[in-house]
């Protein structure tokens, strides 16, 4: 049986890792990639391709970076004769006309055990809510947000010190393994699926809600947690905001980024902090240098 043609649609770094794993697996023919347009980044505002586009270009794959998913771009993708679209954190809603283009269908990887945590902040919300388990969902994609029929799910544990970065790494690894197992079934159209139970669905806030202002934690809350009051929830909140945009507070009118915390004997322990414009230091160094 000949391999099916897959067009990959995604943008961020973890999505780029998944794309590269699919290319290297040789289970399908990756015939094209769609990603966000290049953006100005850094202090020098250099026009930079998304991580997914960088991988695509490194493997000399046809790469599309449309500002709008319109009919003209759809015609270009149609020329590649796709059997499958695979969407992994693209950053925009996919129009119905695009969903219907591939011969077999359009599929999506989502980092939660759907129907729980539909939406962009599925990783941070699971940490903030002190869940001990999340996972990866492979599903058919429809016009609504993360509501398509589920093909397969794989559980991933959330450790007490996981932050968004470490949990994303674990979920990415699980997604790569899941796709290695299930892409052949999708190509052969032998996969099973089940509808999501709408009554069990929950939604995360918009990604736009995750700002510097929303990442502020009053120092009074930190102090109470260090004495043992609501320590677990504060530890979870800090982890859910790190590494980006980064939990922060103010101590004696100094802005202080809270990089790392832990729990010891039901109390919050602040491990690493960073003053604005300075290098990270230990909490002990901060106390000795700035609070005495």
Cβ-based burial of 129 (10 A; exposed 0-12, middle 13-18, buried ≥19) = middle
pLDDT in tens, 14-23: 999 999 999 9
- The DSSP string of 59-71 is TT--EE--SS--H
- DSSP assignment letter at 287: I
Percent above pLDDT 70 for the chain? 99
Architecture of domain 5-200: 3-Layer(aba) Sandwich (3.40)
Distance CA 276, CA 273 (A): 10
Check if 5-200 and 213-291 are the same fold: no
What are phi and psi for residue 216, nearest 5 degrees?
Answer: -80, 135
Q: What is the pLDDT along the chain (292 residues), one digit of tens a residue?
A: 579 999 999 999 999 999 999 999 999 999 999 999 989 887 788 889 999 999 999 999 999 999 999 999 999 999 999 999 999 999 889 999 999 999 999 999 999 999 999 999 999 999 999 999 999 999 999 999 999 999 999 999 999 999 999 999 999 999 999 999 999 999 999 999 999 999 999 999 988 888 889 999 999 999 999 999 999 999 999 999 999 999 999 998 889 999 999 999 999 999 999 998 899 999 999 988 877 6
Residue matched to tokens 């240098």: 289
User: What residue ranges do the domains of the chain occupy?
Assistant: 5-200, 213-291
pLDDT in tens, 106-123: 999 999 999 999 999 999
CATH number of 213-291: 3.10.25.10
């Amino acid at each position: 049986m000949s391999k099916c043609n897959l067009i990959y649609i995604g943008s961020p770094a973890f999505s780029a890792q998944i794309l590269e794993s699919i290319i290297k697996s040789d289970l399908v023919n990756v015939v094209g990639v769609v990603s966000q347009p290049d953006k100005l980044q850094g202090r020098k505002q250099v026009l930079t391709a998304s991580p997914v586009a960088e991988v695509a270009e490194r493997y000399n794959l046809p790469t599309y970076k449309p500002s709008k998913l319109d009919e003209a771009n759809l015609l270009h993708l149609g020329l590649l004769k796709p059997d499958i679209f695979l969407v992994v954190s693209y950053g925009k809603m996919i129009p119905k006309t695009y969903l219907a283009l591939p011969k077999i269908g359009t599929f999506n990887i989502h980092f939660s055990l759907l129907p729980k945590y539909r939406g962009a902040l599925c990783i941070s919300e699971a940490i903030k809510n002190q869940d001990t388990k999340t996972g990866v969902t492979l599903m058919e994609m429809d016009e609504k947000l993360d509501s398509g029929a589920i093909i397969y799910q794989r559980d991933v544990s959330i450790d007490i010190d996981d932050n968004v970065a470490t949990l994303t790494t674990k979920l990415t690894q699980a997604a790569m393994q899941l796709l290695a197992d299930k892409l052949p079934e999708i190509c052969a159209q032998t996969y099973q699926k089940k509808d999501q139970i709408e009554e069990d669905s929950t939604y995360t806030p918009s990604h736009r809600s995750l700002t510097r202002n929303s990442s502020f934690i009053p120092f009074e809350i930190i102090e109470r947690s260090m004495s043992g009051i609501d320590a677990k929830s504060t530890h979870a909140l800090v982890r859910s905001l790190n590494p980006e945009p980064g939990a922060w507070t103010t101590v004696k009118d100094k802005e202080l980024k809270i990089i790392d915390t832990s729990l010891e004997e039901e109390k919050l322990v602040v491990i690493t902090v960073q003053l604005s414009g300075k290098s990270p230091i230990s909490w002990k160094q901060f106390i000795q240098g700035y609070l005495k």
